Copies of this chain bind each other. A is one copy, B any other.
Amino acid sequence: MSTEEFLQANEEYAASFNKPDRSLFKNVIIVTCMDPRLNPYEQLGLKFGEAIHIRNAGGSAKEALRSIMVAQHAVGVTGPIAVFHHKDCGMSRVTTSQMRDLVKKATPGRDDVAAEVDHIDFHHIEHIEQSVKADVKFLVDNPVVLQGTKITGWVYDVDTGKISKVDEAVAVGA
């Protein structure tokens, strides 16, 4: 997508723009992977304005924590958090150790990069259902997550388009 393509598509969009009403917001936070095969709007029936969407490699709840803190403690979101990991995820095919090696190989002679990348947890997914459960547990047990927040954990199947819930729990709070 070139700059021109973005500008042209956006010009058409803006020509019929209706500013979304804040009352559209359904008080829900979605965490998913960045993978192009995931479209949370279509796959979960979410419309414009209805949800907060956090997306990163793997759909890591750990990396999402800063955003969740902002949503809950600054924006005032009190609703559920739904964490989705998906089958055939890139993060299931590369370990943290392998990612570190790949980055080091791409930055030869940069000892500063090597030292830094050795401190990065790339959030490898070994078993998908276990990784979902671990992320749910991470949020449930984390004292910065509002007490009583409903946390659900899901798997999305990129071959069938289907979601399945694998875990549900309530945050214990501080």
Which A residues fall within an 8 A CB radius of B? Answer: 1, 3, 5-10, 12-14, 17, 19-20, 24-26, 28-29, 34-37, 39, 41-46, 48-58, 63-64, 66-67, 69-71, 73-75, 80, 82, 90-91, 93-94, 98-99, 102-103, 106-110, 112-113, 117, 120, 122-123, 143-144, 146, 152, 154, 158-163, 165, 168, 174
In the complex, which residues of chain B have a beta carbon less than 8 angstroms from the beta carbon of A103?
69, 73, 144
Chain B residues lying within 8 Å of A63, measured Cβ to Cβ, are 56, 63, 66
Interface of chain A, helix or strand or loop or mixed?
Answer: mixed
How far, in angstroms, from A20 to B42 measured CA to CA in the complex?
Answer: 13
Q: Which residues of B contact A82 (CB under 8 A)?
A: 1, 6
Asked if A13 and B102 sit within 8 Å, CB to CB, the answer is: no
Chain B residue, CB-CB nearest to A101: B73
